[in-house]
Amino acid sequence: MSDYRQAHARSMADPEGFWGEAAAAIDWDRPYDRVLDSSRAPFYRWFPGGMLNTCHNAVDRHVAAGRGDQAALIYDSPVTGTVRRFTYRELRDEVARCAGGLVSLGVEPGDRVVIYMPMVPEAVISMLACARIGAIHSVVFGGFAAKELATRVDDAKPRVILSASCGIEAARVIPYKPLLDRALEISSHQPEHCVILQRPQVEATLVAGRDLDWGAVMAAAEPAPCRPVAATDPLYILYTSGTTGVPKGVVRDNGGHAVALRWSMEKIYAVTPGEVYWAASDVGWVVGHSYIVYAPLLHGCTTILYEGKPVGTPDAGAFWRVVEEHGVSVLFTAPTALRAIKQRDPNGEYIHHYDLSRFRTLFLAGERCDPDTLEWAREKLGVPVIDHWWQTETGWAIGANCLGIETMPVKPGSAGVPAPGYDVQVLAPGGERLPAGQIGTITIKLPLPPGNLPTLWQNDEGFISSYLERFPGYYLTGDAGYEDEDGYLWIMSRIDDIINVAGHRLSTGGMEEVLASHPAVAECAVIGVADRLKGQVPVGFVVLKQGVERPEAEIVAELVAMVRDRIGPVAAFKQATIVTRLPKTRSGKILRGTMRQIADGEEWRMPATIDDAAALDEVGAALTALGYPEPPAEPR
């Protein structure tokens, strides 16, 4: 039996022994009573009775072990021309002071703190400061509009919000404070304080009595020590879109998260303490939480916080400049970033401008990587390119090539094999397991391994209905695909209407809600169509109310602006088309799946339950006018 098969088999047969050994790499203030508590299944708990502090494990213990002068965090910001390095000792001191600032504002263990910040060191410091004192952070991506922020404020009910005066998107400065102010006008819950980091590009106006200056709060703060918390206490809440457009608050616990993420750095990414690891993502997304902040620091690595883009800051060599300048060993990014680089630099000329001798592996996740892009990267970079698959809910890889256990052959288009801890099964609609090669619903047999969500924030019922109800005893990933004869996973599509734009999971239902609010719109549908650069982009189909006689182009421009305003530029909503009717079943359900197949140029069958077949012809004509399906890529 191969090393990987042996490790996976052991994790299935003896999960308590397997994860108990992994837990030995974490400092515990109080030993756990047992590894896994199944007494309240399906609400499993890892390491109950144990006490620890995640910030101590990520920062303080490395200083105590004599690694205080090693770089912990490198902030590289081409948009501001800044590079700033923090040793583990410097990071500990900054985090302790920030934690003391939160304590001075009345933040206690279990209180929530919303972090609405750009990619600046203070965002990472804020997250670790919350962990240090047992507060629960909820980071909201800076690209989200006021309404989205308000929804999350109402659900998390933060005592304090930490924000900044602005973010910078390439050459564009985005003021954050007006978005924050508008969100708090909309939200029912009101925080006691907002602490605002004033950036040189924009000075925010502070609201007297509520808003405080970041610098002033930190200057007056006394450093706070780490407070041990229960392993089962929440570390953070991270909101992800639901099929209804209502965000779901994914909860991450402290104990299982620390154990699993540190283990993943060694066993999946094959990184050793002291090496430089770079996840080119945003702290607002799960990749940023797991692999910019927590996992590299838990493992004693140097992590990079990059405030820039793969192209345009300044060119398609931006990533390779960072890899050379900071000695990156392992890079983790989204396929969409590679596609953008490939589009600008198809021959990989920029790669040859830099010394990448210390760079050994490229990992991809966020959406399925097309084989052509993976092969291009492997050929141009000359290193293994590993596509792997996971979700906000899981926090770390479900399917991967676990390089720290055994390097397995790469199959372009596949997300690798199930990582130890995951019993992945492909099920038919009736719940029976499908044989190799047959596409079905991808599920994970319970219990989920440590580091996965134990529930949704204050919503146990939603946890069950969203993930466990469809196949009792199994977690519903929401993805469709198959397992091949070698046990490799092939993730083919989502089974719902969440779309994946440049690695960002967004709800089409939320966009439809915006379109439907336009006074000229009778009904609408939004689908995700394949896009070579972003993976998917949303396209809207709108039926106008009878009697509307305004120019269609004018209405479409308003719809695009509305989605940008209410959901944010991250939605990448730029195309809508007016149709006279939407294709529906006789029961009134819009045939989004068939519309998507037409848009992507896939083979499709006329649904047996369709009400009016001519409606699909109209959709096809509208898509053709928009340029869909995309023509095949030019051969290299």
The total of other beta-carbon atoms located within 10 Å of residue 389's CB is 28
Residue 602 lies in a domain: yes
pLDDT at 245 over 50: no
| Boundary of a domain, candidates 416, 443, 477 | 477
Number of domains in the chain: 2
Closest CA to 428 of 415, 438, 418: 438
CATH of the domain at 590: 3.30.300.30
Residue in the block written with tokens 């692999």: 291
pLDDT (tens digit, 9 = 90+) per residue, 193-230? 999 999 999 999 999 999 999 999 999 999 999 999 99
Helix, strand and coil content of the chain, in percent to the nearest 5, comes to 35, 25, 40
Residues 123, 210: one domain? yes
Output phi, psi for 32, to 5 deg: -75, 155
Residue 190 lies in a domain: yes
Closest CA to 73 of 92, 98, 54: 92
Which strands form 440-445's sheet, in the order they lie side by side? 423-427, 440-445, 474-483, 489-494
Residue 371 lies in a domain: no
Token pair recorded at residue 489: 């996973």
Closest CA to 459 of 280, 237, 207: 237
pLDDT value of residue 489: 97
Q: Which range scores top for mean pLDDT: 55-69, 240-254, 508-522, 613-627? A: 55-69
pLDDT value of residue 636: 46
Report the C-alpha gap between 427 and 190 in whole angstroms.
Answer: 45
CATH of the domain at 241: 3.40.50.12780
3-state secondary structure of 257: helix
Closest CA to 160 of 119, 126, 186: 126
Which whole number is the average pLDDT over 433-446?
A: 94
Residue 152 lies in a domain: yes
Confidence label for 85 from pLDDT (cuts 50, 70 and 90): very high
Residues 160, 275: one domain? yes
Which whole number is the average pLDDT over 562-588?
A: 84
pLDDT at 281 over 60: yes
pLDDT (tens digit, 9 = 90+) per residue, 493-507? 667 656 778 877 676
Residues 299, 217: one domain? yes
3-state secondary structure of 51: strand
- What's the first-to-final CA gap in the chain, in angstroms? 40
The total of other beta-carbon atoms located within 10 Å of residue 457's CB is 24
Would strands 385-387 and 361-364 be described as parallel, antiparallel, or unpaired? parallel
Report the C-alpha gap between 448 and 424 in whole angstroms.
Answer: 10
Domain range enclosing 234: 3-308+388-477
pLDDT at 631 over 80: no
Residues 197, 55: one domain? yes
Which whole number is the average pLDDT over 81-99?
A: 98
Closest CA to 229 of 331, 135, 365, 335: 135
The total of other beta-carbon atoms located within 10 Å of residue 397's CB is 27
pLDDT value of residue 493: 66
Residues 156, 252: one domain? yes
Per-residue exposure over 400-432, b if at least 16 CB sit within 10 Å of its own CB, e if not:
bbbbbbeebebbebbbbbbbbbbbbbbbeeeee
Residue 370 lies in a domain: no
Angle subtended at Cα 436 by Cα 430 and Cα 439, rounded to the nearest 5 degrees: 55
Which whole number is the average pLDDT over 397-414?
A: 96
Residue in the block written with tokens 């359900």: 589
pLDDT (tens digit, 9 = 90+) per residue, 477-491? 998 888 999 999 998
pLDDT at 594 over 70: yes
Torsion of CA 48, 49, 54, 60, to 10 degrees: -150
Output the pTM of the full model. Answer: 0.83
- Mean pLDDT, all residues of the chain: 92
Residues 296, 402: one domain? yes
| Boundary of a domain, candidates 443, 477, 511 | 477
pLDDT (tens digit, 9 = 90+) per residue, 18-40? 999 999 999 999 999 999 999 99
Residues 515, 473: one domain? no
Output phi, psi for 372, to 5 deg: -65, -45
Residue 151 lies in a domain: yes
Residues 442, 571: one domain? no
Residues 577, 451: one domain? no
Q: Which residue type does 328 have?
A: V
Alpha helices in 272-392 (DSSP H): 286-287, 295-298, 318-326, 335-344, 371-381
Confidence label for 587 from pLDDT (cuts 50, 70 and 90): very low
pLDDT at 634 over 80: no
Confidence label for 570 from pLDDT (cuts 50, 70 and 90): confident
The CA-atom distances, in angstroms, between 98 and each of 68, 164, 203 are 19, 15, 21
Confidence label for 244 from pLDDT (cuts 50, 70 and 90): very low
Residue 486 lies in a domain: no
Task: Kindly state the DSSP code that residue 483 receives in the 8-state scheme.
Answer: E
Structure-model confidence comparison of residues 370 and 156, the more confident one? 156
The sign one gets for the Cα dihedral 571, 572, 577, 583 is negative
Report the C-alpha gap between 443 and 472 in whole angstroms.
Answer: 11
| Boundary of a domain, candidates 417, 442, 477 | 477
Report the C-alpha gap between 564 and 514 in whole angstroms.
Answer: 10
Residues 539, 406: one domain? no
Alpha helices in 143-273 (DSSP H): 146-156, 177-186, 214-220, 255-267
pLDDT value of residue 164: 98
pLDDT at 243 over 60: no
Residues 91, 233: one domain? yes
pLDDT (tens digit, 9 = 90+) per residue, 298-314? 999 999 999 999 999 99
Residues 82, 199: one domain? yes
Residue 315 lies in a domain: no
Secondary structure E strands in 198-295: 211-213, 229-230, 234-240, 248-253, 276-279
The total of other beta-carbon atoms located within 10 Å of residue 352's CB is 11
Which whole number is the average pLDDT over 609-627?
A: 88
